[in-house]
């Protein structure tokens, strides 16, 4: 079983839709949770970073962590074509980092 599981998609939504991206993990020792956005041929960009269960909001983005279920989500409200990218979840404990395989998202104008 992989440490981190992420549905690769692809996911295609109309502009303005609410997008839900999800990851599950198996190791309860993970303490920190991140979401990255990666545009084609670019390095990943850190979007959200949290360490506790619950929700964290930043503009149109909300990161949700449920440690009891070992499940994290990223919600994108009012999605825009510029949100089209690959989204990677990541988790860390100490100096060890684990990345999901990424979900490819396309927002159609």
Alpha-carbon separation of residue 12 from 1, 32, 74, 75 (angstroms) = 28, 28, 16, 14
The rounded distance, in Å, linking the Cα atoms of 14 and 32 is: 31
Mask: binding to another protein, 41-80, rule CB under 8 A, as x and -? xxxxxx--x-x-----------------------------
The owner of tokens 């981190």 is: 4
Q: Is 92 in the site for another protein (CB under 8 A)?
A: yes
Q: Is 85 in the site for another protein (CB under 8 A)?
A: no
The rounded distance, in Å, linking the Cα atoms of 34 and 53 is: 13
Q: Which stretch, 12-20, 56-64, 71-79, 89-97, contacts another protein (CB under 8 A)?
A: 89-97
Q: Is 105 in the site for another protein (CB under 8 A)?
A: no
Q: Which two tokens stand for residue 4?
A: 């981190």
Q: Contacting another protein (CB under 8 A), which of 32, 61, 71, 75?
A: 32
Q: Is 29 in the site for another protein (CB under 8 A)?
A: no
Give 89's DSSP letter: E
């Amino acid at each position: 079983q992989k440490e981190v599981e992420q549905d690769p998609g692809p996911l295609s939504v109309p502009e303005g839709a609410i997008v839900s991206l999800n990851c599950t993990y198996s190791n309860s020792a993970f303490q920190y949770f991140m979401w990255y956005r990666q545009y084609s041929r670019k390095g990943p960009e850190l979007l959200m970073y949290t360490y506790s269960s619950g929700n964290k909001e930043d503009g149109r983005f909300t990161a949700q962590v449920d440690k009891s279920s070992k499940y994290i989500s990223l919600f994108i409200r009012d999605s825009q074509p510029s949100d089209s990218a690959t989204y990677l979840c990541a988790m860390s404990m100490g100096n060890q980092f684990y990345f999901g395989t990424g979900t490819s998202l396309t927002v159609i104008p």
